[in-house]
Structure 1
Amino acid sequence: MLNDLKAQPKDKILMLMEMFKEDPREVKVDLGVGVYKTPEGVTPIMRAIKTAEKQLWEVETTKSYTGLAGDPGFTGGMRDLVLGDAVPADRVAAAATPGGTGAVRQAFDLARMANPDVTVWVSQPTWPNHTSILKHMGVPMREYRYFDDATCAVDFDGMMSDLQDVAKGDVVLLHGCCHNPTGANLTLPEFQRVAELLNDKGALPMVDIAYQGFGDGLDADAAGVRHIVSNCPEALVAASCSKNFGIYRERAGVLMAVQEDASKTPVAQGTLNHINRQNFSFPPDHGARLVSMILADDALRADWMAELEDMRTGMLTLREQLAEELRRLTGSDRFGFIAQHRGMFSRLGATTAQVDEMREKHGIYMVGDSRINVAGLNKDTVPLLARAMVDVGV
């Protein structure tokens, strides 16, 4: 039977990583993989995480299972971090998951249980794993316009036009901040208009927020999701700790289901527990425990927030440097959008052929749609990228 298995398509980003490793050139730049890096090219362990790990080593007495929904200190802490006081806590069911990806998968499972005929609407473009998971699950999917390749900004009119076709009971997947792969975000007034449309249609908003704190700050980055949960009767929110806590391999995420009425929360909570049990039983705890320790301790939280702010402003500085270097080389401000985008990613507007040429001629590695990880740059490699872009005619 196993002989009949068919080879699965390879992940393009993982393939790009392998190509980069095998490239013998001394001067090469990896802008493909979506992890934060220091100017030295290291993905660091944050100071607060190290301190919390030392404390945990001293006091932890067991490695037994947590509850099916994970540690309440983690789910409660993440609820407060992401949602703030936008919705009463008793209307929120929450469960820890293996990373933000696990939260997304569990959300799709929950939506399908609530409505077997659900269609999930995703932005064009979106994070490729959104569509990959939906296809793997066999969940119907439709796309709505989001990014204007000509302006490198949100095509909000196109988005709202496409969402007119959303049916009652459908799920509309939104990016909370730092849109992956484009870096172009909805404004708060645009989130407000989307919420109004979804309420009119009877659709369920689902917000994937994987980069809180990487854009305009912790609270500013959560403004959109907070508006959604405070103005829509129900919502799903998938949050990740991989980037803003730097614990990628620890797989710490959370799925929150906001109910219209607190009396319905126990049923939603029981369903989240059930889905966890069916898919992986108990969620991983180490990373989640560290996050809950940091969020509950004033000193650790302050240190974490300070380091996160340094990471955020460092990426903004790189964006501004790249936009300015391209302005200097081209005599044009047409790449000013790079400084306006937020988060780790931007789409540069290069063709696939130009992306290939930059890799072959200049050792600049990026995804085929010209998505770059801004955090993969430093002040010395920004000019290399700018010159490569100009050389290939982007």
Structure 2
Amino acid sequence: MLELLKPQPADKIIALMGLYAADPRDGKIDLGVGVYKDANGKTPIMRAVKAAEARLHEAQTSKSYVGLLGDLSFVDAMRNLVLGTSVAADRVTGAQTPGGTGAIRQLAELVKLANPQATVWLSDPTWPNHPAILKHLDIPTQSYRYFDAATCEVNFDAMMEDLEQAQAGDVVLLHGCCHNPTGANLDLLQWRAVTDLVLRKGLIPFVDLAYQGFGDGLEDDVQGMRHLLGAVPQAMVAASCSKNFGLYRDRVGVALVIAPDEKTRDLAKGALSSLNRLNYSFPPDHGAALVSILMNDADLRADWQAELEEMRTGMLDLRTGLAEELRRATNSDRFDFVANHRGMFSRLGLPPEAVEKLRDEHAIYMVGDSRINIAGLPKDGLTRLAQAVAAVLS
């Protein structure tokens, strides 16, 4: 049987990690892996998470299962964080999932259960796992233009033109904030225009929210998304706790479904319970319990928000610094957009041969499409990076 398996394509980022690890050169820079790093190159455990973990250790008396939908106090806390007051609580159901990826997978399966004929529309480009998961589930997809490679900004007119081709009942997958891989985001007026289009055409929004708090702040990052979700009768949100809580390896996420009425909400709740049972029975509890403790304690929540703000402003400082160094090194404003983008990523717009030269000649590692992880930038290495970029472009 096993000999009938077909070779699977290698994950490009995982392959890049292997190349970086094997590189013996001093001063090598890893801008490929999509995890937050502090000034020392480490992915820290947040202070409030550490404190919540100590409390959990003292208070927990059992490792029994929690429930098919997971820790419902966690689900409620995430609903409040993500949606605020934009959607009435009695219209929302949710399930705890293993990370944001687990939430995307469960909601994609929900789409297939509800409407096997629905097409899911994806931004071009998008996170590679989006099309990979949908293809694996045999869900039809289409792309809408999103990023203008010439300006390195959102090509909004093209996006709206493409979405005009979507049919009633189709699903539109949107990045809630901090677009991955480009860092180029919709502004509030554009979110409002998308809302009008979705309502007029009868489309279902599916929002991937992986970076709340990493762009312009916890509330500002979701202002446009909340406007959309507050206006539509049905929607889905996959939210991750990997970045803003630093819980990468604990795999903490939530799948939220917004329904027009109680009957539809309960149908969605039953479907999520069934999907959880089929895929992993009960979601892992530890990380979700930490989030629940943290979010329901005023002091811990305040400390978490303060540290998250430090992380966010640190990334903004790196963006500004890199944009300034690139302007000096290239004697042009070609890369000024880096300072205006938000989140962990920006796509520099370099050709593949320049990316290869950066790796081979300068020990600077980035994904082949020139996506860089801003949080991976060493503050004392901005000048070197900028000069290397200028060198490979000359």
Give the TM bin, normalised by the shorter chain.
over 0.9
1:123 — aligned with what? Answer: 123
Question: What per-residue deviation string (whole Å, max 9, x for no partner) do you get for residues 318-345 of structure 1?
Answer: 0000001111122222211000000000
* Aligned equivalents of 1:255, 1:146: Cα separation in 2: 25
Q: Secondary structure at the match of 1:144?
A: strand
Q: CA deviation at 1:3?
A: 1.1
Q: How does 1:97-246 map to 2 (within 5 A)?
A: 97-246=97-246
User: Which secondary structure does the structure 2 equivalent of 1:45 belong to?
Assistant: coil
SS in 2 for 1:40: coil
**Structure 1 moving runs of 4+ over 3 Å:** none
Instruction: Tell me the SS of whatever aligns to 2:390.
Output: helix
Aligned residue in 2 for 1:247? 247
1:228/1:235 contact within 8 Å kept: no
Aligned to 1:59: 59
Q: 1:358–1:388: 8 Å Cα contact kept in structure 2? A: yes
CA positional deviation for 1:11:
0.3
Letter of the 2:311 partner, please give it. Answer: M
> How far has the Cα of 1:379 moved from its partner?
1.5
Paired residues of 1:146 and 1:154 also in contact (CA < 8 A): yes
In the alignment, structure 1 segments of 5+ residues that lack a partner are none
For the residues of structure 1 that align with 2:230 and 2:27, how far apart are their CA atoms? 49
Q: TM-score, normalised by structure 1?
A: 0.99
| Structure 2 letter corresponding to 1:167 | Q
Amino acid in structure 1 at the alignment position of 2:80: D
Please report how far the alpha carbon of residue 155 of structure 1 lies from its aligned counterpart in structure 2 after TM superposition: 0.2
> 2:277 matched to which residue of 1?
277
How far the C-alpha of 1:90 sits from its partner, in A, is 0.5
* Per-residue deviation, 1:137: 1.2
Q: Secondary structure at the match of 2:94?
A: strand
Match of 1:345 in 2: 345
Q: What do you get for the CA RMSD once the two structures are aligned? A: 0.8
Which amino acid letter does the alignment assign opposite residue 156 of structure 1?
F
Q: CA deviation at 1:57?
A: 0.4
**What is the deviation of 1:311?**
0.2
Residues 41-87 of structure 1: per-residue CA shift (max 9 Å, x gap): 00000000100001100000000001111111100000000000001
State the AA in 2 paired with 1:95: A
Residues 163-187 of structure 1: per-residue CA shift (max 9 Å, x gap):
0100111100000000000000001
Residue of structure 2 in register with 1:9 after alignment: 9
- TM (norm. structure 2) is 0.99
Give runs of aligned pairs for residues 366-377 of structure 1, distance below 5 A: 366-377=366-377
Deviation at 1:228, TM superposition (A): 1.5
Percent identity of the aligned residues? 60
Q: Is the 8 A contact 1:213 1:221 kept in 2?
A: yes
Distance 2:246 2:290 in 1: 11
Mapped contact 2:352–2:368 kept (Cα < 8 A): yes
Output the amino acid matched with 1:22.
A
**Could you tell me how far 1:354 is from its partner in structure 2?**
0.6
Once the two structures are overlaid, the 10-residue window that deviates more, 188-197 or 178-187, is: 188-197
Number of positions where the alignment pairs a residue of Structure 1 with one of Structure 2: 394
Q: Which amino acid aligns with 2:202?
A: G
Question: Does residue 7 of structure 2 align to residue 23 of structure 1?
Answer: no
Partners of 1:62 and 1:159 in 2: how far apart? 50
> What's 1:300 paired with?
300
Question: Which AA in structure 1 matches 2:26?
Answer: E
CA distance in structure 2 between the partners assigned to 1:379 and 1:250 by the alignment: 28
State whether residues 181 and 371 of structure 2, in contact with CA within 8 Å, keep that contact through their aligned partners in structure 1: yes
| Equivalent pair of 2:172/2:204 in contact (CA under 8 Å) | yes
Report if the CA contact (8 A) 1:74-1:289 is conserved: yes
The one-letter amino acid paired with 1:262 is: E
CA distance in 2, matches of 1:189, 1:69: 36
Distance in 2 of aligned mates of 1:92 and 1:327? 47
Does 1:365 pair with 2:365?
Answer: yes
| Contact 1:16/1:367, CA 8 A, preserved across alignment | yes
